[in-house]
Amino acid sequence: MKRLPLEGIRVADFTRIQAGPQAQAWMAHLGAEVIRIESHTAADTLRQMRGAAGEDRTLNRAPGFYAFSFGKKSCNLNLRHPRAVELAKGIIKTCDVVAENYAPGAMERLGLDYQSLRKIKPNLIMLSTSGLGQTGPDAGYAAYAATIHALSGFSSLTGYPGEERPPALMAMMWSDALTATTGAFALLAALHYRKRTGQGQHIDLSMNEATVDFLPEPFLDYTMNGRVRGFVGNRDEAAAPHGVYRCQGEDKWVAIAVSDDQEWQAFCRATGHSEWASDPRFADAYSRWHHQEELDVLVTQWTKKHIPQEVTEVLQRAGVAAAPSANIVDFLADPQLRARNFFMEVEQPPIGKGTAAVVPWKLGPKPDGVRKAGPNMGEHNHYVFHDILGLSEEEIEKLIKDQVIY
Amino acid sequence: MAQALSDLKVLEYAQGITGPWCGKLLGDYGAEVIKVEDPGIGDKARRMEPFAGDVPHPERSGLFLYLNTNKLGVTLNLKTATGQRLFQELIRQADVLIDNNGVGAMDKLGLGWKTLKKVNPRLIMATITPFGLTGPWKKYKGGNLVNLHASGQGFMTPGQVEDPESHPPLKTAGHQADFMAGLTAAICTLTAVFASRLGNGKGERLDISEHEALAFQWARDIAMYSWDKTIPKRTKAGLAMTSGLVPCKDGFFYLHLRDARHWDTYVKLMGNPAWAKEERFKDDLSRGKNYSELEPLMMEWTMRHSKDEIYHLMQGEKVATMPLFTVPEVVNYRQMEERGFFTAIKHPMAGVAKYPGAPFKMSATPWKIRRPAPTLGQHNQEVLCGRLGCKKENLPKLRATGII
């Protein structure tokens, strides 16, 4: 098998939930050896979620946990124990990267902060992910994706026109996702520099800041023009029709975006409504934008008679952008993702076969996909403490009994 | 101070958001990015809102100015033989080409992967398209709205709606889909550079699908559905939890309660009202189910306090609750100020404004704005004469013949 890009890179992964682990999912996928350092004293929330067989104490049955842990390893360390911290340092000495997303200050209290660790591993790269960053008056504040959506201004801008309250929840945990992906980029930039110069460094990644960076338009509208924007729903700043329209079927919808006059003409032909094409209210982009409410009513009259897939095919054939607004069931049947092998069947012990999403990596002919199942809790204790750190079986047994390896 | 990617030379022939965001990420961390635009009209983001001072002008689009910091700007008409020759000269000197012109667009210009890899066998060509270069949807049009909904994010955005009929699947603010595609392209590009320099130094074509970049963000729900048949719902009935936006004196705050301790802390801060002990609010599940009765009771206290007060009170007790900030409140938030996040950038045509800053801080190789976004063709002389050895006296002729 061809060498993977990050083969030979080892990561000590102290992260939990999504913003940390999803970044390390990239690292594992790109060939790094990612060792999750976990403890029964504070198991990952995702491990604790109800699994296939209902309530479960083994922490090994929650599929949501594995989604970001395929190909990783897991060892147990109870960091409340000083001996466990010593062992963690032993592991880190053999690593290239340390990743953590504890509240700022927690690693320092354990003696595992960057300044301490660089003394034992001078070219270490360390990624610290947190809600508000490692410095500043509110650095220690606890955060989750949903609270960062509120704090970053993202919620104040996401909603239906005319309503006052944004949706209570954005189910996608988007800030976690974009922060994790930003973290993967940060690590690759640091690895690139280290390869060139031999120098490691500390990366301070704030969910709040990464989220604002994905949303420059309203911030610049404020800093340049003093304007505070409201909710625009699915609308565009200049193009219409541009929205999500009701289709045939229970809670079925299609997204349609007409970007110029040529596409509008094509849209009218494809839907069999040439009378719309000659309607002066819709004659050009400017007129359509100003009459978009009336336009949306007409478009819905047509879409309601069809399922989302039909609308998509008819419009895309005419050169107009459209796609079903997918729910999870539609999504797993998505012909484009299927054709490009985005999904993979994975045998995940102990919960059996299921479908995994693949990191979006199609770098030429290299091996893609999930290469290994995710780790059970502490599955690689022997590998880490015996093979890497050289402890004897008796020592390991004693450490387990003393709840150091726990 | 050194920058992480200062040895990388990137050529960007891309417009809008996806490709330019990829180029900006590389450029802001040190890469030299030469941006090629079509003469006369340039990048379509130059025509996108907001415009500085509300004056629509190709050099005043805030979105364009944000996405193109640190880049050198040249114009080249790639439909002309001379324009193509100059482009190939630039390719010879580049490590990376970023392209988001659509499936087959570069081939049509005679500048497809097969041609360019002969010009520079080390080239890494990152092509970003809505659905990828292969598959039944490869010719489908996409864009932020369509990609966002196709990937499931739209359907899952309005969590807890009362009436799904009047509340369609919703686009999140801005152009989240496009930004995710650009960031994913930046990861793939750096990976390919890393692999190439470790290995045989051969170039690569990167096929980056916006659809897949977004789809991966749904990995957890995919796994939960596949193994557990959990179907996430977007209606209020589908969720039973207390966490959510709660009205207060000056807006809303996001109440995030993960366990019994959080609820107890919150109840204590509210002065231990008697209703909190009632059976119908005994645990998270019951509180979620009876939320419509709970909210007005909580508001007796919350409406007497500002979101900032509640924020610092709750965080003081280690409960992850945060205010719903508007954009001005974010810009003026003490934490952002202290960290110097918003960065003042001066542009010759658009003036000075504060821009969102570093997505992460690197201790040894910091993010840096070395120059503002280029005006259209601003660096034609510097690049064409300085890098490609064109004679300065030929520039007017290149301009007059519509090449630059």
| Rounded Cα gap, residues A159 and A287, in angstroms | 24
Report the CATH fold assignment for B9-217+339-400.
Rossmann fold (3.40.50)
Query: In chain B, what are the domain boundaries?
Result: 9-217+339-400, 241-330
B209 part of contact set with chain A, CB < 8 Å: yes
Question: Quick one: tokens of B270?
Answer: 């509210």
Q: How far is B353 from chain A (nearest CA, A)?
A: 6
Calculate ∠ Cα B74-B76-B78, nearest 5°: 150
Confidence of residue A361 (pLDDT cuts 50, 70, 90): confident
Q: Average the pLDDT over each of A320-329, B175-184, B217-226, B308-317 and give the range with the smallest value.
A: B217-226
pLDDT at B359: 98
Q: Facing residues of A13 across strands? A: A36, A99
Alpha carbon distances (Å) from A322 to A242, A259, A267? 10, 11, 11
> Quick one: average pLDDT of B287-308?
93
Alpha carbon distances (Å) from A158 to A146, B17, B246, B304? 13, 19, 16, 26
> Quick one: average pLDDT of B307-332?
96
Model confidence at A51: pLDDT above 90: no
A183 part of contact set with chain B, CB < 8 Å: yes
Task: Please list every residue in chain A whose beta carbon sits closer than 8 Å to the beta carbon of residue B17.
Answer: none
| Rounded Cα gap, residues A167 and A158, in angstroms | 8
Share of chain B above pLDDT 70, in %: 99
Nearest CA in chain A to B131: A336
pLDDT at A278: 94
pLDDT at B178: 98
B64 part of contact set with chain A, CB < 8 Å: no
Whether pTM > 0.95 for this model: the answer is: yes
| Rounded Cα gap, residues B4 and B287, in angstroms | 50
Q: Is the ipTM of this complex over 0.95?
A: yes
> Residue B232, preceding bond cis, omega within 30 degrees?
no
Q: Under an 8 A CB cutoff, do B50 and A142 touch? A: no
Q: Are A6 and A32 in contact (CB under 8 A)?
A: yes
Q: How far is B366 from chain A (nearest CA, A)?
A: 10
pLDDT at B240: 58
Confidence of residue A165 (pLDDT cuts 50, 70, 90): confident
Q: Under an 8 A CB cutoff, do A215 and B174 touch? A: yes
Q: How far is A406 from chain B (nearest CA, A)?
A: 23
- For chain A positions 212-231, those within 8 Å of chain B (CB to CB) are 212-225, 227-229
Query: Among A371, A290, A384, which residue's Cα sits nearest to residue A35?
Result: A384
Query: Among B144, B134, B111, which residue's Cα sits nearest to residue B18?
Result: B144
Model confidence at B239: pLDDT above 60: no
* Most confident range, picked from A216-225, B250-259, B282-291: A216-225
pLDDT at A168: 72
Q: Under an 8 A CB cutoff, do A195 and B194 touch? A: yes
Q: Are A237 and A227 in contact (CB under 8 A)?
A: no
Model confidence at B64: pLDDT above 90: yes
Q: Where are the beta strands (DSSP E) in B76-213?
A: 96-99, 124-129, 204-209
pLDDT at B314: 96
In sequence order, which residues have a C-beta less than 8 Å from that of residue B157 and are 6 or more positions away?
Answer: A158, A167, A170, A171, A172, B169, B170, B171, B172, B234
Which residue of A141, A237, A317 is the best one to mutate when testing the B interface, meaning the one whose CB has the most B CBs within 10 A?
A141
Q: Are A171 and B159 in contact (CB under 8 A)?
A: yes
pLDDT at B160: 76
Q: Which residues of B47-86 are buried (b: 16+ CB within 10 A; e: fewer)?
A: bbbbbbeeeeebbbbbbbbbbbbbbbbbbbbbebeebbeb
Predicted confidence (pLDDT) per residue in A221-273, tens digit: 999 999 999 999 999 999 999 999 999 999 999 999 999 999 999 999 999 99
B226 part of contact set with chain A, CB < 8 Å: yes
Q: Under an 8 A CB cutoff, do A150 and B322 touch? A: yes
Q: Under an 8 A CB cutoff, do B50 and A201 touch? A: no
Q: Which residue has the higher pLDDT, B81 or A173?
A: B81
- For chain B positions 299-328, those within 8 Å of chain A (CB to CB) are 315, 318-328
Calculate ∠ Cα A66-A72-A74, nearest 5°: 90
Nearest CA in chain A to B31: A189
- Cβ-count burial of B334 within 10 angstroms (0-12 exposed, 13-18 middle, 19+ buried)? exposed
A264 part of contact set with chain B, CB < 8 Å: no
pLDDT at A2: 63
Within A60-134, where are the H helices? 63-66, 82-93, 106-109, 114-120
Provide φ and ψ at B143, rounded to 5°.
120, 170
Which residue of A16, A194, A208, A363 is the best one to mutate when testing the B interface, meaning the one whose CB has the most B CBs within 10 A?
A363
Q: Which of A181, A208, A233 sits opposite B180 (nearest CB)?
A: A181
Q: Which of B29, B149, B252 sits opposite A255 (nearest CB)?
A: B149
Q: Under an 8 A CB cutoff, do B217 and A336 touch? A: no
Predicted confidence (pLDDT) per residue in A284-341, tens digit: 999 999 999 999 999 999 999 999 999 999 999 999 999 999 999 999 999 999 999 9
Question: Quick one: tokens of B231?
Answer: 């179907």
| Rounded Cα gap, residues A234 and B18, in angstroms | 19
Q: What is the 3-state secondary structure (H, E, C) of B142-168?
A: CCHHHHHHHCCHHHHCCECECCCCCCC
Q: How far is B32 from chain A (nearest CA, A)?
A: 14
Confidence of residue B234 (pLDDT cuts 50, 70, 90): confident
Model confidence at A189: pLDDT above 60: yes
Q: Under an 8 A CB cutoff, do A327 and B245 touch? A: no
Q: Under an 8 A CB cutoff, do B4 and A224 touch? A: no
In sequence order, which residues have a C-beta less than 8 Å from that of residue A283 and are 6 or more positions away?
Answer: none
Predicted confidence (pLDDT) per residue in B9-22, tens digit: 999 999 999 999 99
* Amino acid letter, residue B306: S
| Rounded Cα gap, residues B294 and B83, in angstroms | 67
| Rounded Cα gap, residues B340 and A189, in angstroms | 22
Nearest CA in chain A to B356: A213
* Contacts for B160-164: CB closer than 8 Å, 24+ residues apart: B160/A167, B160/A168, B160/A169, B160/B234, B160/B235, B160/B236, B160/B238, B160/B239, B160/B244, B161/A167, B161/B234, B161/B235, B161/B236, B162/B235, B162/B236, B164/A251, B164/B234, B164/B235
Q: Give the residue numbers of A marked as catalytic.
A: 176
Confidence of residue A53 (pLDDT cuts 50, 70, 90): low
Task: Please list every residue in chain A whose beta carbon sits closer than 8 Å to the beta carbon of residue B256.
Answer: 144, 146-147
Q: Does domain B241-330 have CATH number 1.20.210.10?
A: no
pLDDT at A261: 96
> Quick one: average pLDDT of A85-92?
98
Q: Under an 8 A CB cutoff, do A210 and B134 touch? A: no
Query: Among B346, B372, B337, B42, which residue's Cα sits nearest to residue A224?
Result: B346
Predicted confidence (pLDDT) per residue in B327-379, tens digit: 999 999 999 999 999 999 999 999 999 999 999 999 999 999 999 999 999 99
Q: Are B211 and B130 in contact (CB under 8 A)?
A: yes
Domains of chain A (ranges plus CATH)? 10-213+339-401 (3.40.50.10540), 242-246+252-326 (3.30.1540.10)
Task: Please list every residue in chain A whose beta carbon sits closer than 8 Å to the beta carbon of residue B65.
Answer: 220
**Helix (H), strand (E) at residue A356:** strand A352-357
Whose tokens are 């992850």? That residue is B320
Task: Please list every residue in chain A whose beta carbon sits closer than 8 Å to the beta carbon of residue B173.
Answer: 154, 157-158, 215, 218, 232
pLDDT at B237: 61
Model confidence at A171: pLDDT above 70: no
Predicted confidence (pLDDT) per residue in A111-136, tens digit: 999 999 999 999 999 999 999 999 99
Provide φ and ψ at A154, rounded to 5°.
-60, -45
Q: Average the pLDDT over each of A84-98, A123-137, B282-296 and give the range with the smallest value.
A: B282-296
Confidence of residue A3 (pLDDT cuts 50, 70, 90): confident
DSSP string spanning B9-52?
Answer: EEEEE--SSHHHHHHHHHHHTT-EEEEEE-TTT--GGGGSS-BG
Size of interface A-B (CB pairs under 8 A): 488
Nearest CA in chain B to A243: B145
Nearest CA in chain B to A217: B63
Share of chain A above pLDDT 90, in %: 88
Predicted confidence (pLDDT) per residue in B124-137, tens digit: 999 999 999 999 99
pLDDT at A367: 53
Model confidence at A47: pLDDT above 70: yes
Confidence of residue B196 (pLDDT cuts 50, 70, 90): confident
Question: Quick one: tokens of B123?
Answer: 């080239």
Give Rg (Cα) of chain B: 26
Q: How far is B396 from chain A (nearest CA, A)?
A: 34
Q: Are B210 and B130 in contact (CB under 8 A)?
A: yes
